[in-house]
Structure 1
Amino acid sequence: MTGHGSILISGAGITGPALAYWLHRYGWQATVVERAPALRASGQNVDVRGAGRQVARLMGLEDAIAAAGTGEVGTRFLDRRGRTLAEFPAGTGDSDGATAELEIIRGELVRLLVEQTAGTTEYVYDDQITAVQEDEHGVDVSFARGPVRRFDLVVIAEGIGSRTRRLLFGDTVRVRDLGQYTAYGTIPRTAADDRWWRWCVAGRGRAVMLRPDNVGTTRASLAFLAPPSGYEDLAPERQIAVLRDVFADGGWQSARILDAFTADHSDFYLQRTAQVYAESWSRGRVALVGDAAYCASPISGMGTSLSLTGAYVLAGEIATRGDHREAFRSYEALLRPYVAKAQKLPPGVPRVATPMSGLGVRLLQTGLRIAGSGPGRRLGGSLFTPPADEFTVPQYPARV
């Protein structure tokens, strides 16, 4: 399928606009459909590492990402009273450190990507795919609001719970639950907030976290171990009530975060921590990319890098291979080994980082103190460095 064509991309997060950028470079016309009514500028801190950073560099976005960075200086672990257990400064290279050298709010990165493609890509908000009818020459796509339209290919670039993936791929995709809920939100900044990612080990399978941003607020999250309980399907008010029960004695800044979530939950959401495993990343003329295909989970530190790298490789293969079947096979063959490394989490994660028992908390605190000490800091920092650079970024022609 060398030459030019039309592609529908479902999802205007990080992956969709990045894919649209590269497709335009190769002369393809991309349309991005997003069920949200407008660009979603919310989200938490994400890091751009390794291969993902190389792709951002090729897009000419590296300096813009750095300029819009959160200013996070590293990761500091605390006990329930707010006392420092250990700290690990931000990385100084493409990949190293729990805090990467390039840290940015998800919404800021999405904004940069959409701005980069606004003049070349059609964006359709407040709509979603409801049906796909494929033949040997193309795909007829039905939408919830808009008329039926025809494209050469369709790519699903949605999140871990992708509705369109369920519609078109059914039970061929497995979501591996990691036994944890995490709530995220934006809260008012106070004079006591600094530039560190502060991670409080709260015991009983809980963690309380605060991170800086570059827009005058603070990003907060509350994580806790629990079996699937349907909390993700509750209304925000009921989710916050659950959090109040779980974190009633959470210590440190738990009460502040809960009060802020209660006062304003416009940017609040709660989700299960999970990974996505798909038997195949394509079916006919439809392909999966990013979290919809191979989410490694937020605790992997690899989500954004996989999104940017996957978009780059998929676009390059579509542009340079003979037809879509060959392109999709090659994209999957190239990227699967990298995804497998990203999805291989450290043993016991997330339970080891959020211990349930008092003994587990004491062992974790001792380990953090050792890892954060002078002699152990280099090794400790390496423990938090994901395999973001363990991929050779293919070189594709500037134009096809």
Structure 2
Amino acid sequence: MNKTVLISGAGIGGSTLAFWLARGGFEVTVVERAAGARSSGNPVDVKGPAVDVVEQMGVMPQLRAAGSDVSRMSFVDGRGRQVAHVDLKAFRGSAGAREVEVPRADLANILLDAGGEQAEFLWNDTITSLTQGPDGVDATFATARPRRFDLVIGADGLHSAVRRLAFGDDNEFIEHQGIYVATLRIDQPFGDDREVLIYNTPGRALAVHPTRGKAIAAFMFRHKGVPGYDHRDTALHKRMVIDAFTDQGWRLPELLDQVRSTDDLFFDSVSKGELPRWSDGRIALLGDAASCVSLFGDGSTLAIAGAYTLAEELAAEPGDHESAFRRYEKRHRVLVEPKLNGVTAAAALLIPATRSGIAVRNAATRVVPAVNAIRSLLRPAA
């Protein structure tokens, strides 16, 4: 019986998996590099199959309380005047009005609270080695004592330590898509609570997304991969954002001042990750660690749905983890694979590379209904 499980990562996928595994009778330990829950991160969607999962967890009321009322995306010029808009209802998934949009940090914290009492957490720590044997996986940590677990799940994101230790170097699986994103929480109102505002210059986008009287600013810009890029180097991240947004239009000066002063800036590349297999023996991957790329928040929905599927398969046959891992991967790839090729289309909508691209995007959203506009605009780009 495989009853002890180590999960690397206390984010959206890891917290959801911890909840469902604990409910299924597993002994769960979660190790998380951060010292505690984060407060930053862009708004993400709980859509489609993830809606059923969070409703069964009993956390939908909390998600709705933390969620946004946004229904419209407006593109503005350097003076803040609207030049185009999109009805965001066009992007609803299969669960329709039951779906909710929530800041990433709030979603992760609510899911974490749901399963927190049922799992052991090792904060401010990380896995340093994994050694598989016939009876389990020996794990060593940066701080905690070494331990053996029946199974290990890497739910630790794009820069997964578990993937690196068990499957190979990031360069084998991760491909930079030519875009970097930074997000910053703004603890004050910013415009209409129902409207996302986006200001574009060629290859750059500043988006401000309101949430319950506050807002989140996202700086998105096209940039080739940086040699030796370190996803933990906050000083480098701030320099890259400030250098990219040299244009001083709209409200950039005040928001760049906040970039300079903040101690909680989320920053990373938009990258495409694909592995031929999501498991190796007693070790498996979940969420962005296994497969990722999204500019529309689908990664969170996929992480929640994938965590539920993985827990369900392990609970169905706890004595045969390899079969459970194969069934999980087969089922979940059906949801993941259609999303992997959408980054070009999403970037064309959010971050047009040229002034003419911005003009075509704006004109299309004015001339035809939103969904048809996006499809007609993005089909040639893809």
TM-score by length of 2: 0.89
CA distance in 2, matches of 1:92, 1:355: 20
Question: CA distance change for structure 1 residues 184 and 378 in 2, over 3 Å: closer, same or farther?
Answer: closer
Which deviations, in whole Å up to 9, do the C-alpha atoms of 1:338-388 show, x marking residues without a partner? 1101212065542454223222222122112224xxxx145358899xxxx
1:379 and 2:375 correspond: no
Residue number in structure 1 paired with 2:380: none
Residue number in structure 2 paired with 1:390: none
Residue number in structure 2 paired with 1:340: 337
Residue number in structure 1 paired with 2:175: 176
CA distance in 2, matches of 1:210, 1:281: 35
Q: Does structure 2 retain, via aligned residues, the 8 Å contact 1:75–1:98?
A: no
Residue number in structure 1 paired with 2:152: 154
Query: 1:344 is aligned with what amino acid?
Result: N
Cα deviation, residue 231, structure 1:
8.5
1:246-265 alignment, distance < 5 Å: 246-263=244-261, 265=262
Secondary structure of residue in 1 paired with 2:117? coil
1:111 and 2:104 correspond: no
CA distance in 2, matches of 1:174, 1:243: 26
Secondary structure of residue in 2 paired with 1:241? helix
Root mean square deviation of aligned Cα: 2.7
Q: Does structure 2 retain, via aligned residues, the 8 Å contact 1:239–1:270?
A: yes
Question: CA distance change for structure 1 residues 141 and 57 in 2, over 3 Å: closer, same or farther?
Answer: same
Q: Which of 115, 118, 124 is 1:120 aligned to?
A: 118
Cα deviation, residue 86, structure 1:
2.8
Secondary structure of residue in 2 paired with 1:140? strand
Q: Does structure 2 retain, via aligned residues, the 8 Å contact 1:181–1:226?
A: yes
Question: CA distance change for structure 1 residues 113 and 357 in 2, over 3 Å: closer, same or farther?
Answer: closer
Cα deviation, residue 42, structure 1:
2.7
Q: Does structure 2 retain, via aligned residues, the 8 Å contact 1:131–1:141?
A: yes
Query: 1:272 is aligned with what amino acid?
Result: S
1:305 and 2:285 correspond: no
Where structure 2 has 5 or more consecutive residues not aligned to the other structure, the ranges are 378-382
Q: Does structure 2 retain, via aligned residues, the 8 Å contact 1:185–1:220?
A: yes
Q: Does structure 2 retain, via aligned residues, the 8 Å contact 1:46–1:104?
A: yes
Question: CA distance change for structure 1 residues 191 and 282 in 2, over 3 Å: closer, same or farther?
Answer: closer
Residue number in structure 2 paired with 1:355: 352
Q: Which moved more, 1:307-316 or 1:143-152?
A: 143-152
Question: CA distance change for structure 1 residues 165 and 250 in 2, over 3 Å: closer, same or farther?
Answer: farther
CA distance in 2, matches of 1:11, 1:154: 11
Q: Does structure 1 retain, via aligned residues, the 8 Å contact 2:190–2:214?
A: no
Cα deviation, residue 218, structure 1:
1.7
Q: Which moved more, 1:312-321 or 1:110-119?
A: 110-119
1:36-55 alignment, distance < 5 Å: 36-55=34-53
Query: 2:116 is aligned with what amino acid?
Result: A
Q: Does structure 2 retain, via aligned residues, the 8 Å contact 1:96–1:382?
A: no
1:210-359 alignment, distance < 5 Å: 210-214=208-212, 216-230=213-227, 232-233=229-230, 235-263=233-261, 265-297=262-294, 299-321=295-317, 322-345=319-342, 347-351=344-348, 353-359=350-356
Residue number in structure 1 paired with 2:203: 205
Question: CA distance change for structure 1 residues 217 and 114 in 2, over 3 Å: closer, same or farther?
Answer: same
Structure in which a larger fraction of residues adopt helix: 2
CA distance in 1, matches of 2:131, 2:354: 53
Q: Does structure 2 retain, via aligned residues, the 8 Å contact 1:353–1:364?
A: no
Residue number in structure 2 paired with 1:129: 127
Query: 2:7 is aligned with what amino acid?
Result: I
Secondary structure of residue in 2 paired with 1:189? coil
How much identity, in percent, do the aligned residues show? 34
Q: Which moved more, 1:152-161 or 1:336-345?
A: 336-345
Cα deviation, residue 236, structure 1:
3.0
Which deviations, in whole Å up to 9, do the C-alpha atoms of 1:20-55 show, x marking residues without a partner? 111112111111011111222332211100011121
